[in-house]
Amino acid sequence: MQAVPIYRPVTIDSTRTGERWFPRLHRHTDDSLLLYTSHGNDAAFSPGQRIRSVDNGQTWSEPVANVPRSVWQHSFDDGELYELDEVGVVDPNTPDTAVYWGARSFPGKMVDEPQPEFVRIHLPQVTHGPLQSRISGYPMHPWREIWNTLFGRIDMTGDEIQIASFCITTGVAIGDRLVALGYGIDNTSEAGRYSVWTMASDDRGRTWETIGAAVTGDAMEASPCEADLVQLKDGRLYSVMRVDGPPDVCKAWLYHMWSENDGKTWSKPEPMSLADDTQHQPHSVWPRLRIMEDGTLVVIYGRPGKHLICDPGGTGTQWQGRFDLTAYEKETQTLMGVPEELQIRRQLPGLREDDSSDYLAIETVGPRELIVVYDAQNYVENWNARPVSSALRMLRVRLED
């Protein structure tokens, strides 16, 4: 099985004076697409916004922001959209709990006034850090209401306000319960490594508790972090995650793991591999995982490059059919007459400003098709185009046997 492009990538958003980073796609219960993007650079408190499409990406709405920096979204069966922010403020009265912005709305309804709320996550297992150490050039007023409310005053110092080193990155509904994975700096790790925990909420995401350690960084001698999650056709939970560590240990490969008891315990994480390509090993930043109607699994990942693979068996054990999106983008630029020296490139390790964040967004379209979105930096679309500072590119592919 492999992914076959239906058409060449198209630009759906661009700016000549701003930034578009780290896209995330979500399919709402009304079948609309919600595309979340950071409208600032990779820094603490970088703002994010959302656009919406009701025609599978052909047209998009004006941007909105129901929470300052949405990191995870979930759609309930009744049409309510739940959005959770990335930044958590430690409650000074209950220091083992962090408070996050959340929002509830009904996209597409005539009256869709988002209802912001405080989400409380019980986190005795993670470290905290002072706000002062995380200030990095962006306004913080969207979060001030949280800490002003928690402290009951407005004269706090940057060292007094503590930020939790934790965010939920993915989740699924199992009956009436939300089960999610999140990562943070483990306060039992002498090396200061990340760990990943399973979280659960029985009140539609208003409060969260830890129900198990999915994987600890010290056990891997590395730092597991950005994870995605699906429920397989056989009922098991399956997760693919980023793991950062010393090159002689894990080399920032992607790892995967399974749970047979709704996330309470997990199998030992294993590095992913391809059944049909022993020369390539999946890597390195936030993988996005989707399950098709027939159970086929799809993962998209990157840095360096952008890649899509699939598992037709739907178990996570037969990954194959790698599609190189970066090569396809460069081929498209060549067809459009863009000189080689102006095409997307990675001149130096980590120099994303001449290429892409390589964080990718993906969502299903019907039983066999997928939409992929990625950012392109300092991008030239055709031989006669003026360069843009940042662009969002969208591609539609079909899975074929």
Least confident of 42-51, 67-76, 377-386: 42-51
Rounded to 5 degrees, φ, ψ at 335 are -60, -30
Quick: pLDDT tens for 188-211.
999 999 999 999 999 999 999 999
What local confidence, expressed as pLDDT, does residue 349 receive? 59
Q: How far apart are CA 48 and CA 334, in angstroms?
A: 32
Q: How confident is the model at residue 250 (pLDDT cuts 50, 70, 90)?
A: low
Number of domains in the chain: 1
What mean pLDDT is predicted for residues 306-311? 97
Least confident of 119-123, 136-140, 373-377: 136-140
Is pLDDT above 90 for 379?
yes
Quick: pLDDT tens for 200-241.
999 999 999 999 999 999 999 999 999 999 999 999 999 999
Q: How confident is the model at residue 249 (pLDDT cuts 50, 70, 90)?
A: low
Residue 88, CB-side half-sphere exposure with 13 Å CA sphere: 28
What local confidence, expressed as pLDDT, does residue 147 receive? 95
Residue 94, CB-side half-sphere exposure with 13 Å CA sphere: 8
What local confidence, expressed as pLDDT, does residue 109 receive? 82
Cis peptide before 304 (omega within 30 of 0): yes
Q: How far is CA 189 from the centre of its chain?
A: 25
Residue reference for tokens 């995605």 = 228
pTM (2 d.p.): 0.95
What mean pLDDT is predicted for residues 367-376? 96
On whether the CB atoms of residues 253 and 281 are closer than 8 A, the answer is yes
Provide the b/e sequence for 105-119 (b: ≥16 CB within 10 Å).
Answer: bbbeeeeeebeeebb
Domain range for 338 is: 2-400
Q: How far apart are CA 190 and CA 187, in angstroms?
A: 8
What local confidence, expressed as pLDDT, does residue 210 receive? 98
Is pLDDT above 60 for 42?
yes
What local confidence, expressed as pLDDT, does residue 40 receive? 84
Quick: pLDDT tens for 88-114.
999 999 999 999 999 999 998 877 789
Is pLDDT above 80 for 67?
yes
Q: How confident is the model at residue 277 (pLDDT cuts 50, 70, 90)?
A: very high
Quick: pLDDT tens for 1-31.
999 999 999 999 999 988 999 999 999 999 9
Mean pLDDT for all residues in the chain: 93
Is pLDDT above 60 for 348?
no
Q: Specify the CATH number for the domain of residue 204.
A: 2.120.10.10
Residue reference for tokens 């120099």 = 351
Q: How far apart are CA 225 and CA 210, in angstroms?
A: 16
What mean pLDDT is predicted for residues 284-289? 94
Q: How far apart are CA 293 and CA 288, in angstroms?
A: 17
What local confidence, expressed as pLDDT, does residue 137 receive? 66
What local confidence, expressed as pLDDT, does residue 30 receive? 93
Q: How confident is the model at residue 135 (pLDDT cuts 50, 70, 90)?
A: confident
